Amino acid sequence: MPFLSQVDKIGIASVETVEKVPNSLNLRKILPGAKSLIVLLAHILDEVVKLAGKPPAEDGVSYTFLRYQTIREMFWAADDLARWLSLKGECSIPLLDLALKSFPTSGGTPDLRANSPFAVAAGLGELGLSGLLLTPEYGPRQRFCFLLTTAELPETAYNGPALCTKCGKCADACPVRALDTKKLEKISIGNREYLQYARQETRCRWARSLGMVPEAGNFCIGWKDPKLPVPDKLTEEQVKESLQHKDPIQVRLYRNPLCMDIIIERCLQVCPVGKI
């Protein structure tokens, strides 16, 4: 189909399979009669990921923009596919985020780890210890979007080699040590079980969602370091107060402390899977 030319991989899971994945939204409430979930995936160029926030450019804007644009293009492709399915009498809804609980990455993109199990359920690859979707072609360097549909479609399954090397680089690279290598969580997806490092959600939120840690990417754009310790617990009042310590241009001029944050998921960047 020409309207899917930007899509690198497609997977399909039944709604029944997806709803059994922990932290899933109630899909049949979103679309009564929904039978299948289609996942559309596009690769993010290896070179852009490799250079994000690293010498010689020390720039993260290209990566941040490419991540955003890749998600947009998958969403448009999902919308085109929804129109095509509507000609066949099926009702479909494109969705970016299926997680019941998660914090978006600053800038408004969905939490990749929280959504990865749904892409794994659609047979696109495996879950790494990082909790991210790994594919044999691209490792974790991809983004995806979902299309929930009333069409009853055959499920796709991953039959390739084991992908995660269990090297622990994802945990080591995290600037706030959010991944706990001593605590493994078991997660059931379809008829398989995966292990992932437990993620300290507050620490990850602090760096990825609130943009409070320069090493996570904000040093690239030169924002002032809020210089606050990484918390293990956070109330919403504390979130509001902490955000006031961000760069004065973000806080006072734009009146939006999350404006123009550069966030590079270091766990994704260092993963060796799929690299040539």
Among positions 11, 53, 123, 128, the unique one binding ligand SF4 when judged by CB under 6 A: 128
CB of 128 or CB of 211, closer to ligand SF4: 128
Contact flag: residue 129 with ligand SF4 (CB under 6 A): yes
Q: Least CB distance from residue 103 to ligand SF4, whole Å?
A: 20
Find the binding residues for ligand SF4 in span 132-171 (CB under 6 A): 164-170
CB of 240 or CB of 275, closer to ligand SF4: 275
Q: b or e along 254-267 (b: 16 or more beta carbons within 10 Å of the residue's beta carbon)?
A: eeebbbbbbbbbbb
CB of 167 or CB of 221, closer to ligand SF4: 167
CB proximity list for 234: less than 8 A, separation 6 or greater: 202, 205, 206, 242
Contact flag: residue 177 with ligand SF4 (CB under 6 A): no
Q: Least CB distance from residue 193 to ligand SF4, whole Å?
A: 16
Question: Cα dihedral sign for 83, 85, 91, 97?
Answer: negative
Residue 254 CA: distances (Å) to CA of 150, 258, 260: 43, 9, 10
The CA-to-CA distance between both ends of the chain, in Å, stands at 29
Contact flag: residue 125 with ligand SF4 (CB under 6 A): no
∠ Cα 269 271 272 (to 5°):
125
The number of residues that bind ligand SF4 (CB under 6 A) is: 14
CB of 52 or CB of 270, closer to ligand SF4: 270
Is residue 189 within 8 Å of residue 21, measured between CB atoms? yes
Q: Least CB distance from residue 133 to ligand SF4, whole Å?
A: 10
Q: Least CB distance from residue 183 to ligand SF4, whole Å?
A: 14
Which residues of the shown chain bind ligand SF4 in the complex (CB under 6 A)? 128-130, 164-170, 270-273
